[in-house]
Structure 1
Amino acid sequence: MLTSAVPGLAYDWIVTDLDGTLVDRDLRIVRRSAEALRRYRELGGTVVVATGRNEVSAGLYHRELGLTTPMIVCNGARITDRHSGARLLDLDLGASWQPLRDRLVPALPHGVGAIAFAGERAFVLRQAPVLAEYAGRDRIELREDEPRQAPTKVMLIAERPGLEPLARLAARYCPDVRLLQSEATYLEMLPPGAGKGPALRVLAEREGVALDRIAAIGDNPNDTDMLRTAGLGAAVGDGHPQVRAAAGLVVGPCAGGAVADLVEHVIGDRVR
C-alpha cells in the first residue's frame, strides 16, 4: 500500500502530469522540480504520475524519477502497477470501437492522423505526416497492423490548433466516447467515465488515502477533473486558461519549476 497520513505533511500525495507540467518542451524533466519531488519523498510524501501517455512512454520518466508507485496512464483509462505488471484499472472503448474504426476514421479531414492504444502498443489507424513527430516525441513504436481488441483510447492528431470541428465530427459518429484535449492539436477519445479525476478516485480509495490529502498539478484541459478531485489542485502558470480557472493555486511556468513551486507550497522551507 502507498504511504498515507504522513506526519507533518498537509498533503500525503502529489499527483503530477508529465508534459507541460513536470516535463519541459525539450522533453526533459525540469531539474528543479525533480529535486523538489525527491525532497518531498524523503519527508515521507508519495509521488504519482498521471498522464495521457501509455505505460511504455510514461515509464521512461517514472524510472528516471525512481518511482515505484502505480501510474495513471492513457488519461485515466488505465492504472498500471509497473512493479507487478497488474492493471488496477483497465477500460476500453467497447461498442464504440467499430463505428470509430469503420465510420469516423474514413471521414477524418486530410492531414489528421489517428492512433489506437491497446495493451502497451500503439497502432496507426490513419496515417498522416504528424504521426512521425508524435512517435518521436513520445518515444514509442507505431504499428501498422490492427489491434485485436477494442483499444483503451484513440488519439486524433491535427496539423494545427482548432479542434472544435474535429470534436463535432467525432461526437457524430461516436456519441458515447469521452473527448478530451490533451494538447493544442491532440483530441483523445476515451471510454465513458475515463479521466484522470475518476482514476485518481479509484487509486486513492484502493490505497486508503483521503482525497483532501492529495495535491495534484497539471497544465491542459485533460487535467481539469483531476485538479477538481484532489484536495489541492494547482495549475501551471503557462498552462491552458481553463486549467488555471479550475485550480485552487496557480504556480509558475513549467520550465521554471512549476512542480517545485507546488512542493514548496506544500512543505514550505523544508524543501529549500
Structure 2
Amino acid sequence: MARSAFQQKVVVITGGCAGIGRALALRFAQAGARLALLDIQCEALEAFRQQLQSKLNVEVLALPCDVADHQQCEQAIGHVIEHFGGIDVLINNAAITHRSAFAETELKVFERIMGVNYFGALHCTRPALDSLVQRKGQIIVMSSLSSFAPLLYRSAYNASKHALHGLFQTLRLELQDSGVNVMLVSPGYTATDIRKNALKGDGSIIQQSPAAPFKVAAAADVADAVYQGAVRRRRQLVLSNVDWRARLLARLFPRLFERWMVPRLSGIKSSR
C-alpha cells in the first residue's frame, strides 16, 4: 500500500527546495508522485527540478512563489491545477523563524513570520481546497514542537504555529464529511537551514546559529515519517525530540515545565 498510495498523485509542497521540503519532495518522488514545488529561491528551485527529473524521472512543476503574497499563491495553485488537472496532496511546509526577545522584535518581523508561516498556509489552501475536496485528498501542515512547548525568544514563531493549529483543526472539522484528511505534523529539532536563516529583532539575518539543545533529526527521517503518516491518513503526527514524558509534564505541571524544560528547549541555561 505504501508503495502505490501516491503513484501519479499530484503533490504540492511549499518551501520545496530546501530542508524538510526538499526531503519531502524526494520521498514522494520515490513513491511515483507528480510534484509541484513552490519556493522563493528561484535558482535553487530550478536546479532541484532538473535534478529530480534527470535522476528520478519524475514530473516536476517548479513555481517561484512568496507564500506571504496571496496573489502569487493563487496564481501558482491555479497553474498547478491547470497543468496537472487537480491536486491530491497539499503540504504547507514553508516557514521562517527568528531569535529575539518580544520587546526587541520589530513589528515587521512579526508580520513577515506570520505572513510566511501562517498566511502562507492559508493562501495556498484556499485556492486548492475545491480540487482537494473533488479528489478526497490531503492537507498536511508542518507545525513544530513549539505548538505545545513555547520556545523562548521565538514569540512570533510560536504564535504562527499556534495559529496554524487553530486554523487547520477547525478546517478539519468543517471537512469531516468531505473525504479530505488534514494532518498536523510537529517535528522537533531537524537538520535544516531554518535556524541559520533566523531573523533578528530588526529583521536582519542572524550570522551564527546556536547549537540545537537536543539530538537533531535528519530531514529525510522526518520526511519518511510524514510520508508514512500520509499513507495512513493520520490526523496528527508528533515527531518531537522531546519525548512523551516532557509533553505530559507540559500538560499536567505547566509551571514546572516552564522552569525546567523550556529554557533547555530554547537552547539556553536556566538561571532559576
- TM-score range (shorter-chain normalised) is 0.3 to 0.5
Say which structure is richer in helix: 2
Say which structure is richer in strand: 1
Structure with more relative contact order (C-alpha pairs < 8 Å, separation 6 or more):
1
When normalised by structure 2's length, the TM-score is 0.39
When normalised by structure 1's length, the TM-score is 0.39
